[in-house]
Amino acid sequence: MVSVFKKYSFKDLIKKLFAEYSYWLSFILLLVLAVSVNTNFLRWSNIINIFVQTATTGIIALGMSMVISAGQIDISVGAQVAIISGLGIVVLNFTNSIWLMFAFCLLLGTVIGSLNGLMVAKGNMPAMIATLAMQSICRSLINQWGQGGPFTVSNANFDTFRLIAAGSIRIFGFKIPYPMIMFIVFSILFGIIMRQTKLGKHIYAVGSNSNSARLAGVNVKGIQIIVFMITGLLCGFSGWLYASRVMAVAAASAGNAYEMEVIAAVAIGGTSMTGGRGKIIGTFLGALMFKIINNILTMADVPTFLNGAISGAIIIVAVLLQNVQNKSK
């Protein structure tokens, strides 16, 4: 009974590598490309720069991984970041406490996420429609509140608050910014949740086949609510970090197109867009890849207006490749 598990043959291994770890391959290819375009690419300052840029969207992408693995989608994340960071600054200026602001951001995100989840699970709304409506509501409310002007952190809090995004610690002489630490720690945490907890297994089960999941005793509606809730919570965290990075939140443009970046990260990371399959490490690399591509394009003097076209193209290519892979199985 010990030797029941056959060793993979070399051919199997190669197949498996392509099928399940394709995001590693694309990541390595992209690194080679990046280094060849920009010889300074591998300098520590550039690496941490990419991590800091990735952190805000990357953290949300972890939640989006859950949502998509459960067979849903959330396109309200960008607008959530806008309303959370904007109102967060209002709270900060009023209380002068970055931790009260922190609590407020998490709470607001969780509430918005729960509403999304309730609409989908209890109201039987398609996630695309529910979160589209939520996106519109959040963006409109924060625009109304801001009346065109930005939400600016008051001078009293300026120096302490900016340290969240700009601060760093030194380990063995390497400067490691806080956002980089946050992104990595969250990624590890979510990796463990998805791989090794009941919640993770249930999320995949619901995304794979909600009927089977229900008949195995999984609380399908509960799982649907919780994935949106967690994504909202992460939007809260990310909104807090975003506010610190920009210090002045413009209601109309804050978090703009984040949903595209986040969904693109999940797609490049190999998560199945129909649910049931995916890995957090894929999303982690996917989020980084997205910024690396941006980085390369900036080097190549591609206008920033074209970013949207490029992220759209990335999603299309990534998902088409997934479909090809699934067919060849």
Partner 1 sequence: MLIEMKGIVKDFGPVRAVDHIDFTVDSGEIIGLLGENGAGKTTLMNVLAGTFPPDEGEIFIDKNKVHISNALHAMRMGIRFIHQEISLCNDLRVFENIFLSEEILRKNGLLDKKEMISRCLKVFERMQVHIDPNAIVATLQPAERQLVEIARALLFKCDLIIMDEPSTALATKEIHRLFDIMRQLKTEGVSFIYISHKMPELFEICDIYYIMRDGKLVAHGKFADIDEQQATELMIGRHLADEEFLNKPYYGKDEVVLSVKNFSGQSFFDINFDLHKGEILAITGLQGSGRDLLADALFGAEAYTGSLEVKNSALKPGSTIIDHMKNGIGMVPRSRKERGIHNDLSIYDNISMAFFNTKFRRILIDNRRERERFLREQKALSIKTDQPKNPITSLSGGNQQKVILGRWLEADADILLFDNPTQGIDVGTKFEIYRLIIDLAKKGKAIIVFSSEFPEIHKVADACIVLYKGRVNARLNREEITEMSLMYYSTGANLEAVKNG
Cβ proximity to partner 1: between 9 and 304 the closer is 9
Minimum CB separation of residue 276 from partner 1 in Å reads: 3
Minimum CB separation of residue 49 from partner 1 in Å reads: 34
Minimum CB separation of residue 323 from partner 1 in Å reads: 15
Terminal alpha carbon distance of the chain: 29
Minimum CB separation of residue 116 from partner 1 in Å reads: 24
Burial class (CB in 10 A: 0-12, 13-18, 19+), 215: exposed
Minimum CB separation of residue 70 from partner 1 in Å reads: 12
Residue 82 CA: distances (Å) to CA of 145, 247, 258, 293: 12, 13, 10, 24
What residues contact residue 300 under an 8 Å CB cut-off, 6+ apart? Answer: 37
Q: Tell me the HSE value of 282 on the side-chain side, using a 13 A CA sphere.
A: 24
Cβ proximity to partner 1: between 20 and 321 the closer is 20
| Gap between the Cα atoms of 276 and 323, Å rounded | 14
Cβ proximity to partner 1: between 95 and 197 the closer is 197
Residue 32 CA: distances (Å) to CA of 106, 265, 296: 38, 19, 11
Cβ proximity to partner 1: between 213 and 254 the closer is 213
Given the structure tokens 């867009």, which residue do they identify? 273
- List of residues contacting partner 1 (CB under 8 A): 1, 4-6, 192, 195-198, 201-202, 204-205, 207-209, 211-219, 272, 275-277
Phi-psi region of 50 (alpha: psi -120 to 50; beta: other; left: phi over 0): alpha
Token representation of residue 198 = 């009941």
Integer-rounded Cα Rg, in Å, for the chain is: 20
Cβ proximity to partner 1: between 129 and 216 the closer is 216
Cβ proximity to partner 1: between 175 and 195 the closer is 195
Minimum CB separation of residue 205 from partner 1 in Å reads: 5
